[in-house]
Amino acid sequence: MADVNRGNRPLSPFMIGPYYRPQWTSMSSIFVRITGLALLAGSILIVWWLIAASTSEAAFGFIDGLLRSFVGDVVMFFAMIALFYHMLGRLRHVIWDFGYMLDVEKSELFAKGMVLISVLCAIFFGIVL
C-alpha cells in the first residue's frame, strides 16, 4: 500500500470545465468554501462596526453609514445568504460524517435545498429586521 508515488501526484486539480462537468454536489461544496472565505472577510466589517461604536460617534457614523448605504445593504444581504448557506452546507457535512444522506440523489436534493432555504432566510430576515 505504502510504496506508491508520493511526491508528484496531482493535488486539488482545477478541472472544472473541459475535464469535469459541474454538478450540484461539487458546486455546492465549492460554494461552502467560497462563502466561508468571504465570511471571514465579512467579519472584519462586523468587528469594525463594533469597535467604532465603542470608540466615538464620528467613527460609528462612518462605518454605520457605509453598512446602511445601498451598497452596504446589498453586501449585508449577500452576507446573510452566505451565512445561512454556509451553515446549511456545514450541517450537510455533519450529516454525511455521521453516515447519512451519502447517496447522490439525497446530496443533490440537499444542495438545492441549501440554495433555496438560504435565499429565503435572507429575504425573510432582510424584511423583518
Partner 1 sequence: MAFLTDRKRAAGLGSAKTGTDQFWKMTRSSIALQVMIPLFVITFGIGLGGTYEEVLAYYSRPLPAIIVGLSLIVCVSHFTAEAIEATEDYVHGLAGKLTIIGLNALQYVLIGVGLFALARLAL
Can you give the binding site for partner 1, defined by CB under 8 A?
1-2, 11-12, 33, 36-37, 39-40, 43-44, 46-47, 49-51, 53-54, 57, 60-61, 64, 67-68, 76, 80, 83-84, 86-87, 90-91, 93-94, 97, 121, 125, 128-129
- 20 strand-pairing partners: 16
Closer of 19 and 54 to partner 1 (Cβ): 54
| Cβ 13 to partner 1 shortest distance, Å | 11
| Cβ 45 to partner 1 shortest distance, Å | 11
| Cβ 27 to partner 1 shortest distance, Å | 16
- 16 strand-pairing partners: 20
**Helices in the chain by DSSP H: which ranges?**
24-55, 57-68, 70-97, 104-128
| Cβ 57 to partner 1 shortest distance, Å | 5
Q: What phi and psi values does residue 109 have, to the nearest 5 degrees?
A: -60, -45
Position 25: which residue type? Answer: T
Cβ-based neighbours of 27, under 8 Å, separated by 6 or more: 111
